[in-house]
């Protein structure tokens, strides 16, 4: 049997239905599929990341050969087969982790469960760092480098969300089941396979579950790991970073989409629209700020690296006959290039000041308006040259070895932070079939799911130097 053929059947629908009926009793209450219920995932698979897919460049022959040799070693062949064999029982762990809510800033319980999984998988040591990330160490034979394999613990869903996994046919439905709980299972399975088959690497390996990847979490977990959050530096040095946080295992993210997000609030005394006429009006300032910003941002984004801006929300005011005391907006700016993002940000700051000055100049009485500019999101951008970065070359070679057609693209993931620092980093897929990320009807279907764990294992071994 070709152990790593992507086209080999995973297991029959009937077998899976049997497993789901027989194997998940501890954690999947509610509707069970009737035996033989066909899988019927929703038709629309929402994009998991901001993908701007590009054809992958050539893979240099040294990496093709490296991966081919690596995958031919007997213990590696066995480990690859092992990864396929543990997929059925991995579903139980996926369900168990998915059913532990993990909203941003509330990842503790899931972190504890994931730490236990890494211990059971045989990590040399497991700990939870100062911000809540789970780290499992597998020591290398040389230990002069460290390669990290990561997935994120948090979901976008508030604590009250029902995260019970519903199984219909072969499809698993639950908020967060794919993004990124399945990623955590990939990380755990890679460690388990390495321990079970005594695969050693030259570099130290860190198996990580990070906090705060989503939304207002603002990459706080990965920023902590790399010491870029200004909060802490625990002396970790990570030389290469592999994030498991995409869908399709043939996709590679080598470009981090950076973003700046702001909440801007103009404030004034407010008053009666007739009686207090002449007071500065915060809405007028906000409108002027938007007008100035859009004019300059439009020119800035017309060419150069792809860069975007969006006024996402505006609000404030009391009634139609009141001069508001407050007017606010939430703004998102993104770019593949940090310089372009910084320049756009500067235009934004100028526009806000101009809006404030315009309205204060029109004021006939009362106190001047003030403005608060609150940064609520800051994700660094960066791109790694896929032709010149061994980690990306290896990622493409591994996908090709497993029979896939690699595609590269952009995303906003934990890899942003190391990429922006010039540290080799990549985001790879969690595999299977899935969709509805960030939606309540998120689904995941285990179609050849072992391809993603095999992909992650081979990439980790290649990057960390297979030591036997």
| Between 261 and 430, CB nearer to Zn ion | 430
Within 10 Å of residue 376's Cβ, how many Cβ atoms?
A: 14
Shortest Å, Cβ 177 to Zn ion: 12
| Between 245 and 248, CB nearer to Zn ion | 245
Using rule CB under 5 A, residue 229 touches Zn ion: no
Shortest Å, Cβ 180 to Zn ion: 4
Shortest Å, Cβ 153 to Zn ion: 10
| Between 185 and 397, CB nearer to Zn ion | 185
Axis-axis angle for helices 61-72, 390-401 (nearest 10):
60
Positions in 7-36 near Zn ion (CB under 5 A): none
Of 199, 122, 81, 166, nearest in space to 460 by CA = 199
| Between 180 and 433, CB nearer to Zn ion | 180
Number of H helices, E strands in the chain: 12, 20
Shortest Å, Cβ 182 to Zn ion: 10
| Between 201 and 410, CB nearer to Zn ion | 410
d(CA 338, CA 259): 9
x/- letters, 235..264, toward Zn ion (CB under 5 A)? ----------x-------------------
Q: Number of residues interacting with Zn ion: please give it, by CB under 5 A.
A: 3
| Between 56 and 184, CB nearer to Zn ion | 184
Q: Which stretch binds Zn ion (CB under 5 A): 89-97, 180-188, 338-346, 445-453?
A: 180-188
Shortest Å, Cβ 213 to Zn ion: 6
Q: Which residues pair with 351 in a beta bridge?
A: none
Q: Which stretch binds Zn ion (CB under 5 A): 176-184, 233-241, 307-315, 389-397?
A: 176-184
Q: Which residue has the tokens 């990622």?
A: 395
d(CA 397, CA 229): 34
375 neighbors 261 (Cβ within 8 angstroms): yes
d(CA 456, CA 468): 17
Kindly report whether the peptide bond that precedes residue 195 is cis, defined as omega within 30 degrees of 0: no
- DSSP structural state of residue 153: -
Radius of gyration of the chain (CA): 25
Within 10 Å of residue 467's Cβ, how many Cβ atoms?
A: 13
Q: Which stretch binds Zn ion (CB under 5 A): 79-87, 127-135, 172-180, 230-238?
A: 172-180
Q: Which stretch binds Zn ion (CB under 5 A): 50-58, 178-186, 297-305, 398-406?
A: 178-186
| Between 99 and 245, CB nearer to Zn ion | 245
Positions in 375-434 near Zn ion (CB under 5 A): none
d(CA 328, CA 352): 11
Which three-class secondary structure state does DSSP give residue 243?
A: strand
Shortest Å, Cβ 134 to Zn ion: 16
**What is the dihedral sign for C-alpha 158, 52, 444, 463?**
negative
Using rule CB under 5 A, residue 179 touches Zn ion: yes
Q: Which stretch binds Zn ion (CB under 5 A): 179-187, 310-318, 345-353, 375-383?
A: 179-187
| Between 66 and 179, CB nearer to Zn ion | 179
Shortest Å, Cβ 152 to Zn ion: 5
Using rule CB under 5 A, residue 192 touches Zn ion: no
Q: Which residues in 34-163 belong to E strands, given as ranges?
A: 54-55, 125-128, 134-138, 146-152
Shortest Å, Cβ 257 to Zn ion: 13
Shortest Å, Cβ 83 to Zn ion: 22
| Between 147 and 156, CB nearer to Zn ion | 156
Pairing of strands 258-267, 326-335: antiparallel
Shortest Å, Cβ 19 to Zn ion: 26
d(CA 312, CA 298): 16
Q: Which residues pair with 427 in a beta bridge?
A: 243, 253
Axis-axis angle for helices 87-98, 13-23 (nearest 10):
50
Shortest Å, Cβ 245 to Zn ion: 4
- DSSP structural state of residue 332: E
* Phi and psi torsions of 47, nearest 5°: -60, 135
Using rule CB under 5 A, residue 180 touches Zn ion: yes
d(CA 368, CA 189): 60
Using rule CB under 5 A, residue 442 touches Zn ion: no
| Between 4 and 190, CB nearer to Zn ion | 190
| Between 45 and 305, CB nearer to Zn ion | 45
d(CA 84, CA 451): 8
Q: Residues interacting with Zn ion, by CB under 5 A?
A: 179-180, 245
């Amino acid at each position: 049997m070709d152990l790593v053929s992507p086209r080999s059947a995973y297991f029959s629908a009937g077998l899976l239905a049997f497993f789901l009926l027989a194997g998940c009793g501890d954690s999947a209450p509610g509707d069970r599929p009737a035996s033989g219920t066909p899988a019927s995932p929703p038709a629309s698979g929402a994009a998991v990341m901001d993908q701007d897919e590009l054809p992958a460049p050539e893979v240099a022959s040294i990496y093709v050969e490296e991966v081919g040799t690596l995958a031919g070693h007997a213990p590696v062949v066995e480990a690859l087969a092992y990864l396929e064999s543990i997929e059925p029982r991995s579903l139980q762990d996926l369900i168990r982790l998915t059913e532990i809510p993990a909203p941003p800033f509330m990842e503790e319980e899931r972190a504890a469960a994931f730490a236990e999984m890494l211990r059971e998988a045989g990590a040399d040591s497991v700990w939870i760092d100062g911000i809540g990330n789970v780290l499992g160490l597998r020591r290398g034979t040389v230990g002069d480098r460290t390669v990290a394999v990561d997935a994120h613990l948090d979901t976008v869903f508030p604590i009250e969300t029902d995260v019970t996994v519903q199984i219909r046919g072969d499809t698993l439905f639950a908020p967060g089941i794919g993004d990124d709980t399945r990623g955590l299972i990939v990380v755990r399975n890679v460690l388990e396979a390495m321990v079970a088959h005594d695969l050693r690497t030259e570099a130290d390996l860190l198996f990580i579950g990070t906090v705060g990847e989503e939304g207002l979490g603002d990459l706080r977990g990965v920023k902590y790991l790399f010491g870029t959050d200004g909060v802490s530096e625990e002396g970790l040095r990570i030389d290469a970073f592999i994030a498991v946080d995409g869908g399709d295992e043939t996709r590679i993210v080598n470009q981090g989409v950076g973003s700046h997000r702001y909440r801007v609030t103009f404030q004034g005394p407010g008053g009666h629209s007739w009686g207090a006429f002449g007071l500065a009006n915060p809405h007028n300032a906000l409108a002027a700020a938007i007008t100035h910003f859009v004019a300059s941002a439009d020119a800035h984004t017309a060419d150069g690296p792809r860069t975007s801006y969006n006024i996402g929300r505006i609000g404030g005011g009391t009634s139609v006959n009141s001069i508001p005391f407050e007017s606010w907006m939430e703004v998102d700016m993104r770019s593949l290039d940090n310089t372009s993002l910084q320049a756009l940000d500067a235009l934004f700051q100028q526009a806000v000041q101009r809006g404030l000055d315009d309205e204060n100049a029109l004021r006939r009485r009362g106190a001047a308006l003030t403005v608060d500019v609150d940064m609520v999101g800051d994700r660094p951008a960066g791109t790694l040259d896929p032709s010149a970065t061994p980690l990306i070359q290896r990622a493409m070679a591994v996908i090709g070895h497993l029979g896939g057609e690699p595609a590269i693209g952009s995303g906003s993931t934990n890899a942003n932070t190391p990429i922006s620092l010039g540290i080799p980093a990549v985001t790879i897929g969690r595999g299977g079939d899935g969709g509805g990320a960030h939606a309540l009807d998120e689904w995941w279907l285990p179609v050849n799911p072992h391809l993603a764990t095999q992909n992650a294992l081979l990439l980790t071994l290649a990057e960390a130097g297979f030591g036997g």
